[in-house]
Amino acid sequence: MMNKLILGRYIPGDSLVHRMDPRAKLLASFYFIGIIFICNNFLSFGVMFAFTLFCIWLSQIKLSFFLKGVKPLLWLILFTVGLQILFTRGGHVYFEWGWISISQFGLVNGFFIFTRFVLIIFMSTLLTLTTPPLSLSDAIEYLLRPLEKVKFPAHEISLMLSIALRFVPTLMDETEKIMNAQRARGVDFGEGNLMDKMKAIVPLLIPLFVSSFNRAEELAIAMEARGYRGGEGRTKYRVLNWDKTDTLAMLSFVILTIVLVLVRN
Amino acid sequence: MKNPLIELNNISFQYYGQEHKALNDVSLTINKGEWVALIGHNGSGKSTLAKTINGLISPESGEIKVNGELLTEENIWDIRKMVGMVFQNPDNQFVGSTVEDDVAFGLENQGIPRDEMIVRVNNALERVRMSDFKIKEPARLSGGQKQRVAIAGVIALAPDVIILDEATSMLDPQGRQDVIETIRALKEETNLTVISITHDIDEAAYANRVLVMKQGEIIHEGTPEEIFSHGEALIGMGLDIPFPEKLKASLRKKGIDVPNEYLTREGMVEWLWTYGLRK
């Protein structure tokens, strides 16, 4: 069940994109999501599409991974596209029935929304496929650090994030163990109607909760025993290196923005 | 020459809501370079005792001295630098997201500059033979490997004392042996003081001194040989019976007159092959 999720997985590699500074990648991804709303005609979407494909080619990851990333969200996309098609009026009308009409503008809008969704998913998949979660949390900490001036707990948030990421596989294993243990005692997961299914989750959830509390306590004691007393006066083992490729990547986004502004209507 | 590193004087402690005291007027001195094993049943107060030494638990009465210094609110963090601790569950004490991050965690807390950190992390991993696993994530390591990383995290901090709080109890025999060997080699190199809380007979056998705890008190104290000669009573103390003792018990049942004092494996072999001659 969990293995199907492509978004949020990391595929080790040594491509140009892999080697980029996670801060650059994170900023670029957010920026990309922002500028995709500049696009408003076929040409500008074409430019964005070409750019995304180029980035994917640079990462040397197969396109099929990205298509798999879109799959779980396909229904959401189709639903939104459907609404757009049915409820946008204007231009040549192809079909009309009551308050529903399929018009030229509707189809075009639907197509744009579809492309927008797919491109955003492609880009965020590219980010998570090429960046280890750890570097991502480092990048987030770095980018949040200026907020410490307004008493924002950047260190605490990044520590929480990295501990959470580190415990994901451990807790997944445990979930599986508890599931199997409860199955061995006769619990049926995923059987019966909705109510039954929800009831079957309880013997999984409560032991998991309790063991998380135990883990949290033991981890806190272990951290304290190793001299942890908050973010102050700490040095860092991991460092992030911003080099020439990162600056170049940022420049390419500036150029992309200029091109988009020029080709939009 | 006696060189007391840790002194506990009349320590008492009671957990909230518990009927009995976890520690009842315990006094204890541990010398520099000593290996002390604490044994006893679950709930006998072993872990509580260990946690008082680096201030994770503050006792209700009594005083704790580490390296001649009285443990107080002010110097608690300095004392924690001297006392490293390895806990039972290898998963729940792995703070870092990779092996090297975890070893560096304690160093980061002390604000050690990065260049020195890299050297110390590498040395510590070398010591526990985990250098090849530097960038691995905890999910990809075995229990014994994780425990060795935990030890590396402690030795990178160069403490004077290492407390093993049932550090081998969740490991398979191979992992257990690896961890004990690592500690033993380390102790020989650096004159480390080791306090190990254990139910494992082999681990207790490495100690210079074995303390047996029961209901918050130390009821026996002696060399492993002295303690192991208790035979069947060992089970009551929370330890397994060593193999030579089991053999002796079986032989005694068959009516063979075996010596009462504790014999190691080699000692037992020695005794067995000369048994026929003595008759």
pLDDT grade for B194, boundaries at 50, 70 and 90: very high
Interface contact B87-A221, CB threshold 8 A: yes
Q: How far A157 CA lies from chain B's nearest CA (Å)?
A: 15
Q: Indicate whether B47 and B149 sit together in one domain.
A: yes
Q: CA A12, A15, A21, A23 torsion: positive or negative?
A: negative
Q: What is the pLDDT of residue A59?
A: 87
Is the pLDDT confidence value at B272 over 90?
no
% of chain B exceeding 90 in pLDDT: 21
Pair (B222, B270) in one structural domain: no
Q: Which residue of A has its CA nearest to B120?
A: A237
More confident residue, B238 or B87: B87
B210 and B258, same structural domain?
Answer: no
What residues of chain A lie within 8 A of the CB of B91, using their CB?
170, 215
Question: Can you tell me which residue has the tokens 């927008």?
Answer: A116
Phi and psi, residue A7, nearest 5°: -60, 125
Tokens at B193, concatenated: 């003081």
Asked if B130 and B112 sit in the same domain, the reply is yes
pLDDT reported for residue A205? 92
Q: Report the pLDDT averaged over residues B148-176.
A: 89
- Has the ipTM of the complex gone over 0.90? no
Between chains, do B100 and A165 touch, taking CB under 8 Å as contact? no
- The partner residue sitting opposite B95, judged by closest CB among A165, A222, A229, is A222
Other C-beta atoms closer than 10 Å to the C-beta of A92 total 8
Of B87, B112, B153, the CB nearest to A218: B87
Q: Are A118 and A66 in contact (CB under 8 A)?
A: no
Q: What are phi and psi of A131, to 5 degrees?
A: -120, 125
Which residues of chain A, if any, have pLDDT below 70? 1-9, 91
Residues B63 and B12: their CA atoms lie apart, in Å, by 9
* DSSP calls for B78-92: HHHHHEEEE-S-TTT
Q: Which of A165, A225, A235 sits opposite B114 (nearest CB)?
A: A235
**Pairing relationship of beta strands B193-197 and B161-165 according to DSSP bridges:** parallel
Query: What is the per-residue pLDDT for B150?
Result: 92
> What is the C-alpha to C-alpha distance for residues A55 and A153, in angstroms, rounded to an integer?
34
Instruction: Give the residue from A165, A235, A236, A240 with the most B CB atoms within 10 Å of its CB, the best one to mutate.
Output: A235
Residue matched to tokens 């254990």: B198
- Based on the fold, state whether residues B218 and B272 are members of the same structural domain: no
Identify the domain containing residue B9 by its residue range.
4-241
Pair B149, B253 in one domain: no
User: Residue B220: beta bridge partners?
Assistant: B212
Least confident of A147-161, A235-249, B7-21, B159-173: B7-21
Same domain, B236 and B249: no
Query: Rounded to a whole number, what is the distance in Å from the CA of A174 to chain B's nearest CA?
Result: 11
* Residues in CB range of B109: below 8 A, 6 or more apart: A226, A227, A228, A229, A234
User: What predicted TM-score, i.e. pTM, was given to this entire model?
Assistant: 0.80
**Residue-by-residue DSSP string for A107-169:** HHHHHHHHHHHHHHHHHHHHHHHHS-HHHHHHHHHHHHGGGGGGT--HHHHHHHHHHHHHHHH
Q: Which of B80, B101, B139 sits opposite A227 (nearest CB)?
A: B80
Q: Clarify whether residues B78 and B113 are in a common domain.
A: yes
Tens digits of per-residue pLDDT, B176-192? 888 888 888 888 888 88
A110's CB contacts (< 8 A; 6+ apart) are A81, A82, A84, A85, A88
User: Considering only CB atoms, which chain A residues are within 8 Å of B117?
Assistant: 235, 237
pLDDT band at B278; cut points 50, 70, 90: low
Residue B250 scores a pLDDT above 90: no
Q: What is the mean pLDDT of residues B128-147?
A: 88
What is residue B191's predicted lDDT score, i.e. its pLDDT? 85
CA A135 to mean position of chain CA atoms = 14
CB spacing of B92 vs A219 below 8 angstroms: yes
Cβ–Cβ of B137/A169 closer than 8 Å?
A: yes
Q: Which of B42, B32, B20 is nearest to B82 (CA)?
A: B32
Residue whose structure tokens are 């506990």: B8
Residue of A226, A228, A232, A239 for testing the chain B interface, max B β-carbons within 10 Å: A226
3-state secondary structure B132-177: HHCCCCHHHCCHHHHHHHHHHHHHCCCCCEEEEECCCCCCCHHHHH
B93 CA to centre of own chain:
16
Domain spans of chain A? 16-131+242-264, 153-226
For residue A155 the two structure tokens come to: 């260190």
Check if the beta carbon of residue B259 is closer than 8 Å to that of residue B271. yes
CATH of the domain at B139: 3.40.50.300
Mean pLDDT calculated for residue range B222-226: 86
Q: Are residues B104 and B129 located together in one domain of the fold?
A: yes
Specify whether B214 is located in the same domain as B273: no
Q: Do A226 and B91 touch (CB under 8 A)?
A: no
Residues of A in CB contact (< 8 Å) with B are 133-134, 162-163, 165-166, 169-170, 173, 214-215, 218-219, 221-229, 233-239
pLDDT tens for residues B91-108?
Answer: 899 988 889 999 999 999
| pLDDT at A9 (0 to 100) | 67
Q: Would you state the pLDDT for residue B1?
A: 44
Measured between beta carbons, the chain B residues lying within 8 angstroms of A170 are 91, 138-139
Q: Is A236 close to B94, i.e. CB distance below 8 A?
A: no
Q: Do B84 and B119 share a domain, yes or no?
A: yes
Instruction: For B83, name the nearest residue in chain A, comparing CA atoms only.
Output: A225
Q: Closest approach of chain A CAs to the CA of B66, in angstroms?
A: 15
Determine which of B48, B78, B91, B112 to mutate to test the interface with A (most A C-beta atoms within 10 Å).
Answer: B91
Number of domains in chain B: 2
Please name which of B26, B40, B35, B30 lies closest in space to residue B2, comparing C-alpha atoms.
B30
Interface test with A, best of B80, B85, B109 (most A CBs within 10 A): B109
B262 shares a domain with B236 = no
Set of chain B residues whose Cβ sits within 8 Å of the Cβ of A222: 85, 87, 92-93, 95
